Chains A and B, each alone.
Chain A
Amino acid sequence: MNGIHDLGGLTGFGPVRAEKNEPVFHEDWQRRIFALNMAALAFLGPVDRARHAIERMNALEYLTTSYYEHWIVAIETMAKDLGYLTDEEIQTGQAGHRKPTPHPAPSAAMIEGLIRGGMPANRDDSQVKPAFDLGTKVRARNLEIPGHTRLARYVRGKAGVVTALHGCHVFPDTVAHDKGENPQPLYTVRFEAKELWGDNVTRRDCVYIDLWETYLEPLHEGQ
């Protein structure tokens, strides 16, 4: 989707405001909503589902609410989509029904184990031959994707060079929609500032971005 979250390359948001000695959380409700989203991971599913819940926010609301307010939307949206909560329960705070859960809520020790152990996104790639070698010129495809994607708008249709291959990673566009992990080669691709932003750009800058094989097509000489 071409959501408001896809901010790369826009202008007009003003200065970057850094706060000196910023605390990890400013308000206790931020602590709680962070912890709730993390602790409920086992039931809410892949991180791309959470990202997509935020991406579906109304664009103006997205821009005018704070980061952890987005996390409130994320958990409410996912819990409703998955049938754990209803709008009425969220309004009243009174539990009306209880959807059976496949296992008990993870304990503090289990959650700590998850944080320390992580959830790798790579999968077995022994049977997969990547389509692109290091140094290959590629073009990010111009695709209309109605759902979740990590193909940022600012690289679509642009030419770059493969600089790293990371093996096969879970594909966000399907895993966010319960359509399977579909692991596929993940590459880092380098794009020059001139290619991304305009023929008149002379800055010696470039962007490296991680792109799945589906997002890329070969770039032939002369293109």
Chain B
Amino acid sequence: MSQHDDSHHGAPARQFSRSDRSDEHNRDLAERVAKIESLLIAKGLVDKQALDRLVELYEHDLGPMNGARVVAHAWVDAAFKRRLLENATAAIAELGFGGLQGEHMVVVENTPQVHNVVVCTLCSCYPWPVLGLPPTWYKDAAYRSRVVTDPRSILAEFGTALADAVEVRVWDSSAEIRYLVLPERPAGTEHLSEDQLAQLVDRDCMIGLKKVRRS
């Protein structure tokens, strides 16, 4: 889905993921987790089927394809867009999305004058029902530390240049309110269907790092 490349070629592609964890280290971690799993099952704290179902839900059902449907619907239905900006939790529920880490949704709209970006500086809060689990960079220190103080430098790293006159609003998810950015609909997409529009909307646009482009 994401078309942009890492703007820092030569840098390790993923900090703190497999690339800088040796196979041996990963084996140790796997062993440590397996011990916890068998202990918690033995002690009646978790159910094995529940673990499998959890993984399945977050790998397949909950992801940015849900948020993309919300965005595309808001682009084609002005009344829905009004409801979305007024009470996002209820409007998103109309499309069948909601639940854990999406109980209190707020949608913020990008315009030619205002550009919104979402972060959680204290941990990794993120709107799971509409975006799924966050990417590694969203949880890393580099993003969380710098986006509040210099959002434009990070936007530039994602290939997004904004005029000085544009106001950048950074939303720090410090409570249980979860934020979703409603990107601007690109020009020249009037002929596209709602499904086709949803295909254009990727995760980074809904966190606010990129603009949606006509494919």
Contact = CB atoms under 8 A, between A and B. Distances in A.
Binding between chains A and B: yes
A89 interface: yes
Contacts of A134: none
A90 B43 CA distance: 13
A18 B9 CA distance: 11
Contacts of A150: 122, 174-175
Contact of A22 (B14, B143, B172, B174): B14
B103 to A, nearest CB: 4
B175 A36 contact: no
What is the size category of the interface that chain A forms with chain B? Answer: 35 or more
A146 interface: no
Contacts, number: 306
Contacts of B32: 29, 72
A170 B177 CA distance: 12
B139 A67 contact: yes
Interface in B96-155: 98-104, 106, 119, 121-124, 132-133, 135-137, 139-146, 148-152, 154
Given A5-B122, A101-B45, A107-B47, A13 B103 contact: no
Nearest to B168: A205
B140 A39 contact: no
A217 interface: no
A22 B175 contact: no
Contacts of A8: 119, 121-122, 144-145, 148-149, 172
A66 B154 contact: no
A197 B149 contact: yes
What is the size category of the interface that chain B forms with chain A? Answer: 35 or more
A159 interface: no
Given A29-B29, A119-B103, A210-B177, A17 B13 contact: yes
B145 A54 contact: no
Given A95-B39, A204-B164, A29 B137 contact: no
B77 interface: no
A16 B51 contact: no
Given A26-B17, A101-B44, A13 B145 contact: yes
B143 A16 contact: yes
Interface of B: 1-2, 4-8, 11-18, 21, 26, 29-30, 32-47, 49-55, 57-59, 62-63, 98-104, 106, 119, 121-124, 132-133, 135-137, 139-146, 148-152, 154, 157-158, 164-177, 204
Q: Which are the 10 A-B pairs with shortest beta-carbon distances? A: A8-B121, A93-B35, A66-B16, A210-B175, A121-B176, A108-B53, A13-B142, A29-B30, A35-B54, A10-B145
Interface of A: 5-22, 24-29, 31-36, 38-40, 43, 51, 54, 63, 65-67, 69, 72, 75-76, 79, 84-85, 89-90, 92-93, 95, 98-99, 101, 104-108, 110-112, 114-122, 150, 152, 154, 164, 166, 169-170, 172, 186, 188, 190, 193, 196-197, 203-212
